[in-house]
Amino acid sequence: MDGNGRWAKKRGMPRTFGHKAGAEAMRKILRECREIGIRYVTCYAFSTENWKRPKSEVDVLMRLFDEYLDEAHERFDKSRLIFLGDKSPFSESLREKMIRLENETAHIDGFIIFLAMNYGGRDELVRAAKKLAQRAAAGEISPEDIDEAAIERELYTYPAPDCDLIIRTSGEQRLSNFLMWQGAYSELYFTDTLWPDFDTKALHAALEEYSKRQRRFGAV
Ligand code: IPE
Ligand code: MG
């Protein structure tokens, strides 16, 4: 979800204005995804690198997350919420809300939203390596047991399948540490549309393009 800051700047407004508009865009897109029968959506809300932004912007983003999660039941109606990333750097209030929402929606099966917050694909793999090493050191597994399935079991998204389509808005054409493992064979879709302008029509355009792609997964 990229381009909130530029969207606001174009309007002569502070970047945080763009983040608010971006949160609204996200709500509409998530609802549409659920209605058309998509099973899993991952929203890259805050990366492990976003802490490098000025403290004032990080503070506003944290406040926005806090408010957003208070309204989560209306915003994420009939959705299971799972946060991807280490929760420990967040405030206690935010952390509690995240854990509570995960617990309260754990019974929902139809539509799963992964909210990547303090998420990084490399961080996720480091964490998986550490867990497996600990289990090997404890004698629970041997190094030979470590295969792709064993790594997958340690990912934040487990047991969700690989990611089919990655959409990045705002004209940047890179992955920025998103779903390094799960995205190995994802189709990539880049659009110049800034995230707050990414509406259901734009989503359908992305899905239409995706439906024309030929996925071979290395075969012919
Ligand atoms: C993405 O929009 C939102 C977050 C990372 C929270 P940006 O804040 O990156 O917006 P630009 O790229 O500066 O326009
Ligand atoms: Mg950006």
Q: Is 25 inside any structural domain? A: yes
Query: Is the C-beta atom of 26 inside 6 A of ligand 1?
Result: no
pLDDT at residue number 129: 98
Extended strands (E) in 32-141: 40-47, 80-84, 112-119
Q: Write down the catalytic residue from 2, 4, 118, 123.
A: 2
- What is residue 143's DSSP assignment? G
pLDDT tens-digit map of 28-72: 999 999 999 999 999 999 999 999 999 999 999 999 999 999 988
Q: Of all residues in the chain, what percent carry a pLDDT higher than 70?
A: 100
pLDDT at residue 73 is higher than 80: no
Please, what's the largest Cα pairwise distance for the chain? 60
Average pLDDT over residues 103-108: 94
Contact 155, 85 (CB under 8 A): no
Residues near ion ligand 2 (CB < 5 Å) are 2
For ligand 1, atom 5, name the residue with the nearest CA.
Answer: 46
Contact 181, 151 (CB under 8 A): yes
Q: Is 94 inside any structural domain? A: yes
Q: Which domain holds residue 75?
A: 4-211
Q: Is 162 inside any structural domain? A: yes
Higher-confidence residue of 74 and 33: namely 33
Q: Is 218 inside any structural domain? A: no
Active site residue 103: no
pLDDT at residue 75 is higher than 90: no
C-alpha of residue 62 to centroid of ligand 2, in Å: 16
pLDDT at residue number 71: 86
Question: Which tokens in the block code for residue 191?
Answer: 């659009």
Phi first, then psi: what are they for 162, rounded to 5°?
Answer: -55, 160
Contact 78, 30 (CB under 8 A): no
Average pLDDT over residues 150-166: 98
Output Rg (C-alpha) for the chain, integer angstroms: 18
Query: Is the C-beta atom of 5 inside 6 A of ligand 1?
Result: yes
Q: Is 96 helix (H, G, I), strand (E, B) or coil?
A: helix
Q: How many structural domains are present in the chain?
A: 1
pLDDT at residue 113 is higher than 80: yes
Domain CATH code at residue 130: 3.40.1180.10
Q: What is the pTM of this model?
A: 0.96
pLDDT at residue number 78: 86
**Alpha-carbon gap, residue 220 to 217, rounded angstroms:** 8
